[in-house]
Amino acid sequence: MRRRTLLSPAVALMALTLLGLGTASSLGADSIRWEKDFRSAKARARSEGKIVMVDFWASWCTFCEKLDQTTYKDAAVVTRLAKTTVAVKVNTEGRREELELSDEHGVEGLPTIGFFTSEGRAVARIEGYVNAAAFLKLLNTAEIEGADMLGWEKILRTDPQNFGALYGLGAKMYELNYHDDARPLLERARRADGGPLRQRKRVRMMLARIIESQSSFTDSETMLREGLALPPEADTDPRLQFLLSRCLTQLGRGAEARVVLTKLIADYPRHPVTASAKKSLEAMK
């Protein structure tokens, strides 16, 4: 997982000393209990049905220390985190596993606060210092998103081919730009293929865009045509057609792309994507 999402209002989203960072201990009602490492945090989160909060930090980060001394000492924050999360600190200049986790999730600026499922899938993140009031608002979004993802993961543990859970989790990973995580989930959903028509088509559309970025326009075309071969669906079909026209253009098949765009405009004159289709068609003349 390389790509990430910033949890913030625009996109939506310690009572420990330096000597105590990264240790797991219960330090009283006004302190956050920090697990010793990400693995143990995930294990506890799974057993307690919670999400994992990872505080990425470094010894030179003054705003990381400010988080410790302000936001993480706020009584409301401590209480809320105890109810819904398992917290762990990850030193971005620490042990190998900490370095790998930081790199895996593209942590660059500090502080960064990441929220994950008990399976280790990213839920949301906060970049930069936030005070207690702002943190609680952003945490609310992470909790809501996390609850859905935990629910889908729980279903898949007992029913690995459940289309609804595969689609939900795969679409969420796609939305968060974690395409390496999204692709296998969506491929499994495509094989299961037992959900509503719109979701079945959207599985193909998301896979086509991932394939386009990771491998080839030719394979992307195949996936888009597979989606269009399913029974018609008024919202998704024009989106698939527009993506197909773009794919054909990249493959040097402009005449075919114009045919696709012309049909899209004629069949769906009021669809939101039609305006873009008209511009693309005009640019081809």
Domain ranges of the chain: 18-157, 159-284
Q: Given this model, what pLDDT does residue 3 score?
A: 43
Which one, of 179, 180, 171, 127, lies nearest residue 149 by Cα? 171
Over residues 130-168, the pLDDT tens digits come to 999 999 999 999 999 999 999 999 999 999 999 999 999
Give the integer Cα–Cα distance in Å for 23 and 37: 8
Asked if residue 13 has pLDDT above 60, the reply is no
Helix then strand then coil, in percent of the chain rounded to 5, is: 60, 10, 30
More confident residue, 24 or 236: 236
Asked if residue 9 has pLDDT above 60, the reply is no
For domain 159-284, give the CATH number: 1.25.40.10
Dihedral angle sign, alpha carbons of residues 269, 275, 277, 278? positive
Q: Which of 10-14, 162-166, 227-231 has the lowest average pLDDT?
A: 10-14
Which one, of 245, 248, 253, lies nearest residue 281 by Cα? 245
The pTM (predicted TM-score) of the whole model is: 0.83
Contact 284, 258 (CB under 8 A): yes
- pLDDT band for position 213 (50/70/90)? very high
Q: Given this model, what pLDDT does residue 20 score?
A: 33
Give the integer Cα–Cα distance in Å for 216 and 218: 5
CATH 3.40.30.10 fits domain 18-157? yes
- pLDDT band for position 215 (50/70/90)? confident
What is the helix (H) or strand (E) element at residue 190, kind and residue range? helix 179-192
